[in-house]
Amino acid sequence: MKITVLGATGSIGLSTLDVVARHPDRYEVFALTAFSRIDELRALCLIHRPCYAVVAEEASARCLQQDLQQAGLDTRVLVGEGGLCEVAAHPEVDAVMAAIVGAAGLRPTLAAVKADKRVLLANKEALVMSGALFMQALRESDALLLPIDSEHNAIFQCLPPDYGRGLAAVGVRRVLLTASGGPFREMAVDQLRDVSPEQACAHPNWSMGRKISVDSASMMNKGLELIEACWLFDARPEQVEVVIHPQSVIHSMVDYIDGSVLAQLGNPDMRTPIAHALAWPERIHSDVSPLDLLRIGRLDFQAPDEQRFPCLRLARLAAQACGTAPAMLNAANEVAVDAFLSGRIRFTEIASIIDDVLGREASVPAACLEDVLAADAQARVLAGQWLSRYGQ
């Protein structure tokens, strides 16, 4: 199986390459992409020797092409969104790991779907922004969509194979989406305004990039996952319940009408869902340590506090509004998180920006991809206006 890894230098991309490297008889790296970590991409190319590499800028592409040629590699370096779409839809590719963070991953992920690939979806924004269009493209293709987020992969494992008939038809009452609660789960609410980016990025259980770490700290990540779960499993927002589970051992659960609750458990290591999706419907070794429940000893659960985590409430409202609201939510969050990481706003102002954008721009139906991208662009303009008024 030949694999394209979109976002190869991120945590998901590196975990994917780790699993792939353990099974050289099954998998071959066809293409690797990166946005700004060119040195890391160069090192990965030297190890995995892909046919293609993709970077964001022409100057970086020229330097990388020269370096790889000098190292004796035949890797061809492409540039920009066009390059991403080309390696995602290439006729020789069997599977695409969609792990680009944010809205930038939308078009190449759609390209992979339309080219009938096995799509390993780690880029939740593709569904958050354009869920109806994305699922329509999936229905019109022969692509296979497999979720990589540990929560959605857990739900997928706990549902019957025919869940596509509808949750009610297969006896599902609700989906329980677990969340660690992040680094601020127990911090006093009045202290949140003064937390630093370093504190927000210090996740207690998972090793992730800075943007997704901040999303986890604000629980926007869980809000985006709620929207994604609605599209993946044809669920209404009220059928998806978020439960804080600090140990991150139960990755999610499915509650059936007969009283059964099925859960998927495992150590917090993304190589488990990656290996599951790569080999599905088979199972392969991932080198993840076996779960030791006796050592863990206890599993705790609590309801999320929306005063502490207003982003979760905003995401649920966007899910209920549907249309372009989730795209605006996502775009405003991307701008706000970037501003927080660069020291322009306080942590608590992330939610303020998102709330302001959603309140100033009404959601409208998204009839085509251009509608989604226009809503994304407008939300970024509005978030920028908030920063001009109130940011540092």
Annotated binding site for 1-deoxy-D-xylulose 5-phosphate: 124, 150-151, 180, 203, 216, 221-222, 225
Pure H helices in 150-264: 150-158, 197-200, 210-218, 220-232
Find, among 4, 154, 207, the residue nearest to 88 by Cα.
Answer: 4
Binding-site residues for Mn(2+) sit at 149, 151, 225
Structure tokens at 265: 């458990």
Pure H helices in the chain: 11-21, 38-48, 58-70, 80-89, 106-114, 125-139, 150-158, 197-200, 210-218, 220-232, 271-279, 293-296, 310-321, 325-341, 349-360, 369-390
Q: How many CA atoms lie within 13 A of 33 on its CB side?
A: 31
Distance (Å, rounded) from C-alpha 347 to C-alpha 371? Answer: 30
Residue with tokens 């090793």: 207
Distance (Å, rounded) from C-alpha 2 to C-alpha 287? Answer: 21
Binding-site residues for NADPH sit at 9-12, 123, 125, 209
Binding-site residues sit at 9-12, 123-125, 149-151, 180, 203, 209, 216, 221-222, 225
DSSP 304: -
Cβ neighbourhood burial of 154 (10 Å; 0-12, 13-18, 19+): buried
Helix (H, G, I), strand (E, B) or coil at 112: helix
Structure tokens at 100: 């680009």
Measured at the CA of 137, the angle between CA 378 and CA 114, to 5 degrees, comes to 105
Helix (H, G, I), strand (E, B) or coil at 242: strand
Q: What contacts 297, CB < 8 A, 6 or more positions away?
A: none
